[in-house]
A = this chain, B = another copy of it.
Amino acid sequence: MDPASGFLPAKHNHRRCVEDALKTAEDVCRRRGQRLTEQRRQVLELVWQAHMPMRAYDLLDKLKKVHRAAAPPTIYRALDFLIANGLIHRIESLNAFVGCGDPEHAHAGQFLVCQDCHAVAEMADPGVATLLKKKASQHGFFALRQTVEIFGLCPACAENHGGDHTAMSAAAK
């Protein structure tokens, strides 16, 4: 099962979940002739450990604990590499990064971001991507890349609000 899709099962074997992601990353990089160096692997691991959108400087702080010399370029280079290889995605509206559960296949992801608990889930719905590309082309626009980020309430947090949609729409202002 793809560990990044959908919101987390209430309890999952997270240690295993991170290990699998790292294993997959190694496979992907080896097949592509890319070097998943120790630094890059560590940054990827930090991103997966959190299972939350992680900001660059938060990652930097954590990385410094195992690597005192780490500096901003250290982290941004690693992030660039991981993004280029589809191992993580950047959430533009948060300036943050999340692991991708399916780095083997290029895809346009759509992200569901909870305003309450900040959890993020990735949909990679080809129908959505196709529709956007088609709508764009109706405006004479040739689409190459998509950023789709949806803010709202995840299942758990919607539940906590009692499913009270009037209250929620008030909160939404």
Write the residues of chain A forming the contact surface with B, with a CB cutoff of 8 angstroms.
Answer: 6-7, 92-93, 110, 112, 114-115, 121, 123, 125, 127-128, 131-133, 135-136, 139-155, 158, 165, 168, 172
Contacts and interface: CB of A to CB of B under 8 A. Distances in A.
* Copy total for this chain: 2
A108 to B, nearest CB: 9
B135 A125 contact: yes
Contacts of A127: 131, 135
Contacts of A131: 127-128, 131
A72 B11 CA distance: 45
B141 A168 contact: no
A115 B144 CA distance: 9
Given A142-B158, A144-B153, 6 more contacts: A6-B139, A112-B143, A127-B131, A136-B150, A141-B154, A146-B151
Contacts of A142: 152-153, 158, 165, 168
Nearest to A154: B141
A165 B133 CA distance: 15
Contacts of A153: 141-142, 144
